[in-house]
Homo-oligomer: A and B are copies of this chain.
Amino acid sequence: MGQEIDRVRGLFFDVFGTCVDWRSGVIREGEALGLDGVDWPALADAWRGAYQPQLETVRSGARAWTLLDELHREALDALLGDFGLDALGDAERAALTRAWHRLDPWPDVVEGLQRLKRRFVVAPCSNGHIALLLNMAKRAALPWDVILGAELARAYKPDPEAYLRSAAAAGLEPGEVLMVAAHAGDLVAAARCGLRTAFVPRPAEHGPDGVADRPPERVDVIAEDFLALARVLGA
């Protein structure tokens, strides 16, 4: 961490995995359907596993711009047979897709963002669309100043446009933004666009037997959680 970090005025946050625990949330909403014998942890993992291949169909230009609710629903429809859930009705599928709007933050996130917000612009720069992030923020009290990211840019991370258009919309130069994520690939892509980067490990992201991501080789800040990040940044 050097003087470059002093230029930072805005913090952009990855959301799924970095701010919120998508796996526990999806499992919880699945179990709430009250069906017997469904392996919800495996379904959650398979659902998330479909995510990058789906985004890639948009990033590659093979399909037109599509919001994450629609991608989530398509992936769910394709998966349900493998879990003996072919008969799940449309209303339950729609409700389950909305699970991604109702994810809980990691324990440090709300207080960490509140502290960071005093000194910096705090904004999600996520592949989630605005309505999803808005519903999530209202439910979980995430105190965003503005919702940036993929929908605004009409580009999914790690496409450079997702970072650069978000920075421009906030009136910030890339070097005035610190991208915060638990995923190395996100930070490598942000750094290539000129953003500063902070890695926050989320060892429980993929569950008790899962393997969490490691920091990239080059990163400006590594902080244990958002409270540690606030301390490092003097917020």
Contacts and interface: CB of A to CB of B under 8 A. Distances in A.
Interface in A146-177: 146-147, 151-152, 169-172
Contacts of A132: 171
Contacts of A147: 146-147
A80 to B, nearest CB: 24
A129 B135 CA distance: 23
Given A151-B169, A152-B152, A169-B151, A138 B145 contact: yes
Interface string A127-139: 0011111110110
Contact of A170 (B121, B134, B146, B172): B134
A145 B151 CA distance: 16
Nearest to A134: B146
- How many A residues touch the partner, as a band? 20 to 34
Contact of A130 (B134, B135, B146, B151): B146
A16 interface: no
Contact of A131 (B131, B137, B151, B171): B171
A133 B170 CA distance: 9
Nearest to A148: B130
A135 B176 CA distance: 14
Interface string A102-146: 000000000000000000010000000111111101100000111
A146 B138 CA distance: 10
Nearest to A123: B134
Contacts of A145: 134, 137-138, 144
A133 B145 CA distance: 10
A25 B233 CA distance: 32
A51 B152 CA distance: 25
A129 B172 CA distance: 13
A152, A169, A171 — which one has the most chain B CB atoms within 10 A of its CB?
A171
A132, A144, A147 — which one has the most chain B CB atoms within 10 A of its CB?
A147
A57 B144 CA distance: 33
A135 B172 CA distance: 11
Interface of A: 121, 129-135, 137-138, 144-147, 151-152, 169-172
